[in-house]
Structure formats: C-alpha cells, structure tokens
Chains A and B, each alone.
Chain A
Amino acid sequence: MYHTVIQERIRRLHLLHSVMLELTYRCNLNCFYCYNDPEAAGTPLSVDQYLRLFDDLESMQVLFLSFTGGEPLAHPQFFELAGAARRRGFAIRVKSNGHAIRGEVARRLRDEVNPMAVEMSLHGATASVHDRQTRVPGSFERLLENLTQMQQLGLRPSFVSTLTAWNAPEIEAMYALADRFGVRLRWQGPVSPRQNGDREPLTIQPSAVDWERVRAIAEGRRASAAVPAANPLEGATKPPATDEDRPHCGIGTQEVLVDPFGNVYPCVQVRWSAGNLHRQPIRAIWEQATAFGDARRLSVATAKRFAGQRPTQFGAPIFCPGVELTYLGERGQRTDIPLNDWRKSSPLR
C-alpha cells in the first residue's frame, strides 16, 4: 500500500517526503570515482540554519532524512545536527564510508542518533580491490572491524556498492562477504562523471556483461530465497504506472537534495538550482521553485524517449537523465551568496 496508494498521494499532493543532506564534501577516504566536485565552494549552512531547516521539515511532515557527503561524519557538528534531527522524529539514514564509525563515535551514533540505517560503501571483497578504489591503505580491514563493532552495538549497517571494472571480478565474493556479516548488499551505478565534468571516473566503468552478472546473481539469490526479495538497483524510484504522463523516475515529486552551501536541487544528479536556504526557507523553495516541475518534465520526456524499451547507460540496466546531462557538459547551478549576507546571519558575528 505504501508503494502504491501512499506514494501516489504524496506525489499528487506535492508533499515533500524525503530530504538528502550533503553535510560536507570533506572525506577521510579518496575514492577514485567519487562524483563530488573537489573544488566546490560556498558559504556553509550554520548549525542554526540547519535547526531552522529541521523545524520546517518537521512541520512539512517530511519523514526521511539522509545524511551524506562527502563523509557526513566529517562535519564538525555532525552529532549536534543528527541528534537534533532525531529529536524531531525523522527516519534517519546515514550514508557513510564507515571509516570513522568505531569506538566512541559508534556508541554516540547509536545513543544520540539511532539511525534506521547506516549504509556503508563496500568497494570490493578484498583489501587489494577495496583499498585500490578508496586509495587509503587499510580501509578494507577497518571497515570490517567497524562493521562488527556496529553490529555489537545494535546499529543497523548495510552495504552499498558501485559496480566498477575493478570490483566486477569480486561480485560473488562481495555477496558472500555481506552474507557472512548478515547485512544487505545493494548495487548502484553507473559510474558517473564528477559534478565538475571530469570524466576520469568513467575509465573504470564496468561492462554490460558485468551488469548482467549482477542481475543473474541477484535473480538466483531471490529464487533461492536466501535473501529478502530486492531489486539490485532498488534505490531507483519507481513511478506509478497509471499516470498518463508517466515519469521515468520520481525526480521532482517528493525529494530534494541540499548541498553543504544551502543550494537545493531536485536530486543528486540533476543539479538545477531550486533556491538557496541562505535566502529562502525550504517551504517557499518547495512550493515555488520551477526547478522541480522542470525536473518532472525531464523525467516524463525521458520516459517517452525510451517508451517500450529497457534503457541502459554505460552498460548499466538503468538510465539516469541527470548523469547524461553531466556527461554532456551541464554543470551544477549554485546561488552565489555574498559574504556580507553570511556575516549578517552568522552566529560568529
């Protein structure tokens, strides 16, 4: 019922249901294919601005709040922010590389945030592949140590992996590793250009044959009921099939992305500026910005473009119009905030 009736109602009533917060682009790993723009700059949102945002989102009945980055725990006020979000009753997801979630950090995450899920990036089934992608020696062993600690504390970790040419030979072994720890493994892709247009990550794009192997293995696992039924690309939003102007994905209908500098976008890959939280509250942006309608039209146009087909992109059995825009040269739009504006609103004034 949730995925049919309620999701349809959320779209029809234009309710904001889910928000993804890129807290920071700082990271303690250095992943080869990371899509973040390492040169991105702007005036970061202050803690007070985040707290106002959380108040607004609570009053708008937003349910899901995801903390991502970069590495969200690299934000110096992560626990203050995530704890405040928790007290406002959001269902919180933390998307992390897992490198710092150990000891006191893990305990605080459980006690102060209690996220519904901690999704951690798995880059391979061996240290040689995982650490090659993260470019930090020892990160694989540390991830597994931290995973064990998290499970002992009662946190709810899972794995997400971007399929690459480097880890494709370890698909089966990565599933075995996830099974060994009793956690879910979700695949995502394709590898996309960086937000600044840099195509270097595409050099490790896996082949269509690799994606077919993922599909076949996932199908086999479903058939044997070894794991709960799950689409290997279940992160992709499925639109209702009854709409006359059927969209390709759920972009622009119920979710927004907020970058560390307050820019609000329809999604991670379609960075059309809907506004900036330094200038407007989220409710005004959600209700007035044309970017969301434009994004929905892009989604509908994409569905019409591939009507009756199963589109692929770089060999992956999925097509993201935002990845295509970035590949073709479109750059994210940012609202420039003059420094004096920031000084007026800064608690450090």
Chain B
Amino acid sequence: MSEETNPDTLALHPDLVFRAAGDEGVAVDQRKSEILVVNGLGLRVMQLVRAHGSRQAVLTALLAEYEAPAERIAADLDAFLDEMRQRDLLC
C-alpha cells in the first residue's frame, strides 16, 4: 500500500540552517557548504515553514503580515517555494 503525502505539507531539509542578518537572511546548505542570502520575505517564509509546516498556514500568516494583494503574495510564495524545491531545500 503506497503512503499518501499531503501536497500542502512543507518541511525544510534537515541540512538547511538559517539565521536573520538584519532584515535579510543567511542560510547554509550543509551538504555543499553553500551560503545563500535571502531577502526579508524569503527569510520570513523559511521561519514560517519551520513553525507551521504547511503552505496554507504560511500563506495565512503572510497575508496577515504584509499589505499586498493576496494573489501577489501567493504568487511570490509559490515562486520562492519552487526555487527552494529546485535547490532541494524542501522535503
């Protein structure tokens, strides 16, 4: 029997660590010793993914925090999550 996975579920790769540096973020992909710089929104998304673990919860939190059209925020969120997936930073 195959295990169903919830497409809404998000988790950071265990080899991804990050911190805030002022209003931006610095992340390290430990597998490559690669240092990544993310903007304020990217930093907040990573914090929310770690805290909530689902796209919907992250989006709900962002909508409450940012004064921008919901479609724009959702699009920015999905674009960032896609980039993270391409870098294998989500699992």
Contact = CB atoms under 8 A, between A and B. Distances in A.
A253 to B, nearest CB: 13
Given A91-B28, A116-B28, A116-B30, A6 B19 contact: no
Q: Which bucket holds chain A's interface residue count?
A: 20 to 34
A116 B21 contact: no
Given A10-B21, A91-B30, A114 B14 contact: yes
Contacts of B90: none
Given A2-B37, A114-B14, A114-B15, A156 B30 contact: yes
B20 interface: yes
Contacts of A116: 15, 17, 28, 30, 33
B11 interface: no
Nearest to B29: A116
Interface in B19-47: 19-22, 24, 26, 28, 30-31, 33, 35-37
A61 interface: yes
A2 B17 contact: no
Contact of B17 (A9, A13, A90): A90
Contacts of A89: 17-19
A90 B17 CA distance: 7
Contact of A17 (B15, B18, B21, B30): B21
Given A114-B15, A116-B28, A15 B37 contact: no
A115 B30 CA distance: 8
A19 interface: no
A9 B20 CA distance: 11
Interface string A102-114: 0000000000001
Contacts of B22: 9-10, 13, 15
B45 to A, nearest CB: 16
Nearest to B30: A116
Name which of B15, B17, B24, B28 has the most chain A CB atoms within 10 A of its CB.
B17
Contacts of A63: 17-19, 21, 26, 28
A15 B24 CA distance: 13
Contacts of B15: 114, 116
Nearest to B12: A89
B26 A2 contact: yes
A17 B37 CA distance: 14
A5 interface: yes
A225 interface: no
Contacts of A61: 19-21
B35 A2 contact: yes
Interface string A138-154: 00000000000000000
Interface of A: 1-2, 5-6, 9-10, 13, 15, 17, 61-63, 89-91, 114-117, 156
Interface of B: 14-15, 17-22, 24, 26, 28, 30-31, 33, 35-37
17 contacts: A2-B26, A2-B36, A6-B21, A6-B24, A6-B26, A6-B37, A9-B24, A15-B21, A17-B21, A61-B19, A89-B17, A89-B19, A90-B17, A91-B17, A115-B30, A116-B17, A116-B30
Across the A-B interface, give the 6 residue pairs with the lowest CB-CB distance, nearest first: A116-B30, A61-B19, A63-B19, A91-B28, A2-B35, A91-B17
